Amino acid sequence: MTTEAFFKCDETIPERAIHIAVKGPGGCQRSDGSDCFIASNIATTPGDMTERGCTYAGCRGVVGGPVKDVIQLTHGPIGCAFFSWGYRPHLADSDFHMKYTFVTDMDETNIVFGGEKRLLKCIIEAAQEFPDAKGVFIYNTCSTALIGDDGKDVAKEAAKIIGKPVVFFDCEGFRGVSQSAGHHVGNETIFKELVGSVEPEGDFSRAINIVGDYNIKNDMRTFEPLFEALGLRILTRFTGNVSVDEIKIMHKASLNVVHCARSATYIADMMKSKYGTPYIDVTLFGIKAMSKALRDTAAFFGLEQRAEEVIEQELAKIMPKIEYYRQRLQGKKIFIYQGAPRAWHWIELLRELGMETIAAATTFGHKDDYEKIFNRIQEGAVIVDNPNVPEIEEILKVRRPDLFISGNKEKYVAYKLGVPFVNGHTYDTGPYAGFSGMLNFARDIDKALHSPVWELLKAQGRPVPGTSVAH
């Protein structure tokens, strides 16, 4: 094993070597010279400036948080709940879940004497203040787990008092190595506590669930009408724009269509094992992938002909504009850094627009995410697991992509280094899914790349997109 760090910034942290790889002609090679696969989903090295979130963040922010008609209650200090309010644009047709956040606001006295009474009081008070809420989701945090509060027991007692479901998530921040563990806890808890708790009558032979889409900036509006045009009914969305009552009946669907394979395959697997519900994995971004998703779903129901008609109609609408953008974007080099699946979802979409991904990174990807990245990305590209901030800066400075697609945390680093940026995490505009969303994506990339500001920088002799700078 070589001790030479792949990134200059990692000279003092050789543990990072196993998390970095380059795609070579014979497959992948890790930056330590071995041909083993990239290490992922393991604990961050102490001292490493990771951008990961905690288990609570994954459960509260991603899986439970989008459920639109429940009281979203954090059991912990106010600090844990700070970013639980109005940050993720998982839109719905009502805004209760976006407008309000609830926290037990544990202080030192509660930590010393226990927080169970306080939790019960908060649940009852919140339920009285918001009588239209259909239930309460409680998220555990590090401090309340460490003092041993029995939130599950409190939830049972509270459910009897308020007469509505009260669901407790064991998602204390330290439970896993990243927010990915919180997705798992969220899936398991919702499945055990809610799915199948109501048995509705009716015909569900053409009902599907969209699993693992969180409706960021209305992504669902771009693809739901296409599934409906096949003649299918969308029963439950797990968990974008969904009510707690819809979750209770999701076991009645004939097929689960899984979009985010990282955060939601858990519930699809549990439904397959308990109810025999089959599932298919899809990507709902880009022309080829969206078409394949419609074809695969249609094939399950024997609706192949209808899928071809829908695809033809939709492509006729977008292709002239896609051609326009392809000419403007041709040859551009991209660095994608996302939570996990979007890093592989978007490699092909960008290629369809004439661009190549030269670097891809994920915050909490697992082995299967990296396999998909390796299969899709071009030779010579660098792949990084759980990148730290200096590594991101080094990629931007040395590899000098024409565009960085990442999240809000990285936006200003990109701008400071003169690299055009598109927010692929929460979208500044969007939506980006489906056929029509791809046009929005292409428009935003075009705007970022061709902003007049880059000419101003050039005039000042400062680094501009696509030119490397001193390391």
Residue 142 or 413 with smaller CB distance to ligand SF4: 142
Strand, coil or helix: what is 69? coil
Residue 182 or 401 with smaller CB distance to ligand SF4: 182
**Judged by CB under 6 A, does residue 173 bind ligand SF4?**
yes
Q: Which residue among 88, 175, 184, 259 is the active-site one?
A: 88
Q: How far is the CB of 180 from ligand SF4 (least distance, A)?
A: 14
Q: Assess contact for 120 and 157: CB atoms under 8 A.
A: yes
Which value, in Å, is the radius of gyration of the alpha carbons in the chain?
A: 23
Residue 61 or 341 with smaller CB distance to ligand SF4: 61
**Judged by CB under 6 A, does residue 144 bind ligand SF4?**
no
Window 443-462: residues binding ligand SF4 (CB under 6 A): none
**Judged by CB under 6 A, does residue 339 bind ligand SF4?**
no
Q: How far is the CB of 347 from ligand SF4 (least distance, A)?
A: 31
Helix H or strand E encompassing 71 = strand 71-75
Residue 146 or 398 with smaller CB distance to ligand SF4: 146
What string of DSSP letters covers 299-339? HHHT-HHHHHHHHHHHHHHHHHHHHHHHHHHTT-EEEEEES
Q: Which residue among 21, 54, 80, 171 is the active-site one?
A: 54
Q: How far is the CB of 309 from ligand SF4 (least distance, A)?
A: 48
Residue 80 or 384 with smaller CB distance to ligand SF4: 80
**Judged by CB under 6 A, does residue 115 bind ligand SF4?**
no
- Distance CA(237)–CA(255), nearest Å, equals 12
Q: How far is the CB of 144 from ligand SF4 (least distance, A)?
A: 9
Can you list the alpha helix ranges (DSSP code H) found in 198-276?
Answer: 220-229, 244-248, 261-275
Q: Which residue among 16, 60, 183, 342 is the active-site one?
A: 183
- Cβ-Cβ contacts under 8 Å for 416 (sequence gap 6 or more): none
How many chain residues are in contact with ligand SF4, going by CB under 6 A? 8
Window 79-98: residues binding ligand SF4 (CB under 6 A): 80
Q: Assess contact for 187 and 161: CB atoms under 8 A.
A: no
Q: How far is the CB of 304 from ligand SF4 (least distance, A)?
A: 47
Residue 76 or 401 with smaller CB distance to ligand SF4: 76
**Which of 438, 251, 428 shows the shortest CA–CA distance to 346?**
438
**Judged by CB under 6 A, does residue 142 bind ligand SF4?**
yes
| HSE, side-chain direction, 13 A CA sphere, residue 302 | 2
Q: Residue with CB nearest ligand SF4? A: 173
Which residues on adjacent β-strands are paired with residue 257? 210, 280
Window 28-57: residues binding ligand SF4 (CB under 6 A): 54, 56
Catalytic site includes residue 88? yes
**Judged by CB under 6 A, does residue 177 bind ligand SF4?**
no
Q: How far is the CB of 139 from ligand SF4 (least distance, A)?
A: 8
- Distance CA(307)–CA(391), nearest Å, equals 44
Q: Which residue among 17, 21, 28, 57 is the active-site one?
A: 57
- Distance CA(78)–CA(97), nearest Å, equals 18
Q: How far is the CB of 82 from ligand SF4 (least distance, A)?
A: 8
Tokens 């001193």 sit on residue: 470
Exposed/middle/buried for 301, CB within 10 Å: 0-12, 13-18, 19+?
middle
**Which of 300, 255, 245, 296 shows the shortest CA–CA distance to 276?**
255
**Judged by CB under 6 A, does residue 141 bind ligand SF4?**
yes
What is the contact surface with ligand SF4 in residues (CB under 6 A)? Answer: 54, 56, 76, 80, 141-142, 172-173
Catalytic (active-site) positions: 54, 57, 88, 183
